[in-house]
Amino acid sequence: MNVNDKQNGHAFPLALAGLGETLKIIGVKAGKGLNQKLMELGVPVGSVVNVVQRGHGGAAVVSRGSVRIALGAGMAQKVMVSIVRPEKGASPGTAAP
């Protein structure tokens, strides 16, 4: 996957996201268990998150509001996201879907 694919709204695994990117979780490439786990963690499909830390092999820490969630590389590889761009005139940290 190249940078243009990410910027053009194509889905890609969270494990490939860059530090500081604002993302929308658009799907999960796994069974109901992972969907349920994400809901329990407070980041269900449809959530907008920010990548605040990157780890080895694709692991990531994402934030949603004041909550930070650590996802291992395996889980991050199965969570599909797309980049969210800030709305024009919006304050920093505000993004459009």
Domain range summary for the chain, segments of one domain joined by +: 3-83
pLDDT value of residue 10: 86
| pLDDT tens digits, one per residue of 26-59 | 999 987 888 888 889 889 999 999 999 999 899 9
The average pLDDT across 57-80 equals 94
Nearest Cα to 74, choosing from 94, 60, 54? 60
Topology, domain 3-83: SH3 type barrels. (2.30.30)
Strand bridging mode 67-71 / 79-83: unpaired
| Res. 86 pLDDT band, cuts 50 70 90 | confident
How many other C-beta atoms lie within 10 A of the C-beta of residue 96?
12
* 45 and 38 Cβ atoms separated by less than 8 Å: yes
- Residue 14 structure tokens: 């969270």
- Report the SS3 class of residue 13: strand
Please give the Cα distance from 4 to 70 (Å, whole number): 27
pLDDT value of residue 34: 86
- Mean pLDDT is lowest, of 4-18, 31-45, 83-97, for 83-97
* 69 and 77 Cβ atoms separated by less than 8 Å: no
